[in-house]
Amino acid sequence: MADQNSVVLRGGTVLTLDAQHTVLRDADVLVTGDRVAAVGTGLAVPEGTREIDARDGVVMPGMIDTHRHMWQTAMRGYGADWTLTQYFVWYYLESGKHFRPQDVRAGNLLAAAEALDAGVTTCVDWSHGLQTVEHAEGAADALRTIPGRYVLAYGNIQQAPWEWSASADFQAFARRVLDDDRLGFQMAFDVTGDPAFPEKAAYEVARELGVPVTTHAGVWGATNDDGIRLAHEAGFLNDASIFVHAATLSADSYHRIAATGGSVSVSTESEQSAGQGYPPTWALRAHNIPVSLSMDTSVWWSGDLFSAMRTTLGADRSREHFEAHQKGDTVTHCSLRAEHVVDWATRGGAAALGRSADLGSLEPGKKADVVLLKNDASPVSFPVLNPYGHVAFQAQRGDVHTVLVDGRVVKDEHRLVGVDLAAIRREVEGTVEHLRATLGEEAWAKGMNPDVPATKVLDNPYTYTDYASGATHGG
């Protein structure tokens, strides 16, 4: 035992996220090798075990993001004022094609480091900038460099899915990654709703490779009920299907998703700003569709799941109140609880990825992906009265004290371990310089600053009197 790496987190409030959602106070989590060995109070540990003081902290499973365009992190914050329209024009039509393999790599390195820093131990990289297999090698190389757990969801917005998925290069790449147990694999493409259903060929490749398909679904103006109906009727929907957003959809689509066991990745910050539709958790709950959470892209938003949990609770409760007020009713009890969004950020993500057996909770035998939230210097760190509420509404990424992935400490006392941030900064700067030079200053500035539509200020019946001069207007 002593020669196996072991770590114990001592004396924290432990959110196990087991099936009963057991919460333990003043409890320990013992990690041996790559697994959780024990969870309980006053645990005896092997000699040589590293002790981490978790008192006044919250210990929880590593968080899981099921949808993030990691390559776009090199453009952090550039599109803060975009809608989906500007996003599509910039990435899909105009500038996305200028990203070289090293630019995809640079974005992925930064996104992966950012995820770990925020306690996101598993992240699905919805990588739709893979114009060539060299780009895919750049993406995969970055994910192998940073010591988190990743799923490469392969996509290419510069070609139709039935084109890129048919290429021998793609298929050989996919088979190489499928042999790599540190990196999961999915196929990422969208279904337009064309009645001829040309995406069928891409689904067949996914079936042949035995990999899940993840699609942007229910995105206002882009994908709708037809895509879900066509894929369902052709028999391609199953419990590994991940539908991202699923916001602008009819009940019929939700029934098809629920009946085939698929799940929805809700990116609330994205849906609220970009315009895919109202964040759908209120409807997903009604249709009993499993939910996981995601951040979508750092070209607009934060890359941490604390924001995702907070905005998702806000959007769901806001909708519930709004619907009730339309009927003259009052909501006296919230349906969606802090506990639910913490579950979605952990267990929900594991279930979406088919990893419930070994990820998403702190139980003996599971993979040791562990997060300790603790920040003794922060006045927000106490009292921890309602631990789920604390995680969802009070905590933030600066409170992530310790992160373990596969039993290995990758963040230690608020500092990433074995991540060369200075080197990543140089690579990202290279990408920004390349894009800025390629686009030219005018297009660069224009892309970042879309026109602001004029706001028509309504006539105000109470402005008859000019109080400053004492004059009276109008007649």
Q: What is the contact surface with Zn ion in residues (CB under 5 A)? A: 296
Shortest Cβ 126–Zn ion spacing (Å): 6
Q: Hey, what are 309's tokens? A: 């949990």
Q: How far apart, in whole angstroms, are the C-alpha atoms of residue 475 and residue 66? A: 61
Beta-sheet pairing, 213-217 with 183-188: parallel
Nearer to Zn ion, 225 or 296 (CB): 296
- CA gap 89, 450 in Å, rounded: 11
| Shortest separation between residue 81's beta carbon and Zn ion, angstroms | 18
Q: Which residues pair with 126 in a beta bridge?
A: 153
**Least CB distance from residue 216 to Zn ion, whole Å?**
5
In this complex, which beta carbon is closest to Zn ion, that of residue 296 or of residue 316?
Answer: 296
Distance in Å, CB of 219 to Zn ion, minimum: 9
Closer to Zn ion by Cβ: residue 192 or 438: 192
CB of 77 to Zn ion, least distance (A): 17
Question: What single DSSP character describes residue 90?
Answer: I
Asked if 295 contacts 269 with a C-beta cutoff of 8 angstroms, the reply is yes
Which single residue brings its beta carbon nearest to Zn ion? Answer: 296
Q: Which is nearer to Zn ion, 296 or 406 (CB)?
A: 296
Specify the residue, 125 or 296, whose C-beta has the smaller distance to Zn ion.
296
Of residues 81 and 180, the one with the C-beta less far from Zn ion: 81
Structure tokens at 253: 């689509």
Orientation angle between helical segments 441-448 and 421-439, nearest 10 degrees: 110
Of 4 and 159, nearer to Zn ion (C-beta) is 159
Minimum distance, C-beta of residue 112 to Zn ion, in the bound complex (Å): 17
Q: Which of 134, 133, 199 is nearest to 167 (CA)?
A: 133
The CA-based dihedral angle spanning residues 397, 401, 403, 408, taken in that order and rounded to the nearest 10 degrees: 150
Residue 10 pairs in a beta bridge with: 53
Q: Which amino acid is at 430?
A: G
E strand spans, 326-441: 370-373, 400-405, 408-412, 415-416
Q: How far is the CB of 137 from Zn ion (least distance, A)?
A: 22
DSSP type of residue 71: G
